[in-house]
Amino acid sequence: MNRIKGIVVKSLLGMIVFGAILAGTAYAAGSFDTVDDDRSMACCNDGVDNDCDGLVDCADSDCADITVCRCIDADGDGYYANMDCGTELDPDDDNANINPGADEICDDGIDNNGNRLIDCADSACEDHPECVITWYVWYANNMSLKPVMVGTNKGFERDTLCSSYPGGGMSPTLMVEKVAIVSDAATREEAIADACKQFDNIRRVPGSSTFVFSNWLGDLGGERHDLDELGGCE
């Protein structure tokens, strides 16, 4: 069939074509010319089944490569989920609150800006209260104020336990309810140095010790540490 230009009228007798026949390009039934993207875009975004195949606009596979159908912003946040659409990729096109332009919320467990860094792992959160780590020296709250352990504001699972009674005494793990914070430091090393200044007998109890607890200067995960690793006490 020759390529035609004109008006197509459907009838019970078939198709009647009004217009001039343009010699040259073959034109298959049920399709339309997609060489000119601007003209094709108009056909793929006009709400009309232009090629009479029962599929309108982007539902028609003929429109799959047309920009108006390929670049989709399902959540309306201004970012596309497809390449080469003029924006950074939207990591979650079903959620308008998650996109490359969103601010990272530092305590919701979600990668809000789509950079694959969640909460405190994102540099945007480095000054957020939830992400600032402060090291503390913990003391036995029994008037002696001897240092018991050093740790952070993130919980005991990160604490380093220190014996305030070398060779014996109560395990700091049993003194959680009897501990008071009386000093703080910006780094682990500063916290240890502060503990060493106030109590110079902090040491590791050897594994061969007969003392029931052998995790002094060990963390709650069971890993042991020696004074050199901790920075030592002069």
Q: Among 69, 99, 115, where does a domain finish?
A: 69
Instruction: Give the residue-averaged pLDDT of 166-189.
Output: 48
> Tokens standing for 191?
């916290």
Residue 186: alpha-carbon gap to chain centroid: 26
Residue 74 forms part of a structural domain: no
User: Tell me, what's the pLDDT at 47?
Assistant: 77
Domain that holds residue 189: 135-230
User: Tell me, what's the pLDDT at 94?
Assistant: 92
Confidence of residue 41 (pLDDT cuts 50, 70, 90): low
* DSSP structure string for 51-72: TSSS--GGGSGGGTTSHHHHS-
Would strands 179-185 and 135-140 be described as parallel, antiparallel, or unpaired? Answer: antiparallel
Confidence of residue 91 (pLDDT cuts 50, 70, 90): very high
Q: Among 28, 44, 69, where does a domain finish?
A: 69
Residue 199 forms part of a structural domain: yes
Q: Which residues contact 179 (CB under 8 A, 6 or more apart)?
A: 138, 139, 140, 141, 148, 149, 172
Assign residue 74 a region (left: φ > 0; alpha: ψ between -120 and 50; beta: otherwise). Answer: alpha
Phi and psi angles of residue 112, each rounded to the nearest 5 degrees, phi first? -65, -35
**pLDDT(125) > 80:** yes
Both 143 and 226 in a single domain? yes
| Eight-class DSSP state of 126 | T
Average predicted confidence (pLDDT) for the chain: 62
Both 146 and 60 in a single domain? no
Residue 94 forms part of a structural domain: no
Phi and psi angles of residue 172, each rounded to the nearest 5 degrees, phi first? -55, -25
Domain count, the chain: 2
Residue ranges of the alpha helices (H) in 44-201?
A: 67-70, 188-198
Both 140 and 223 in a single domain? yes
> Tokens standing for 25?
């390009």
What pTM did the predictor assign? 0.42
Residue 64 forms part of a structural domain: yes
Question: Is 209:216 a contact under the CB 8 Å cutoff?
Answer: no
Instruction: Note the pLDDT tens digit of each residue in 4-13.
Output: 344 444 444 4
Both 64 and 142 in a single domain? no
Instruction: Note the pLDDT tens digit of each residue in 74-83.
Output: 899 999 988 8
Residue 129 forms part of a structural domain: no
| Percent above pLDDT 70 for the chain | 40
> Tokens standing for 180?
């008071």
Higher confidence at residue 137 or residue 203? 137
State the Cα–Cα distance between residues 227 and 111, nearest whole angstrom: 39
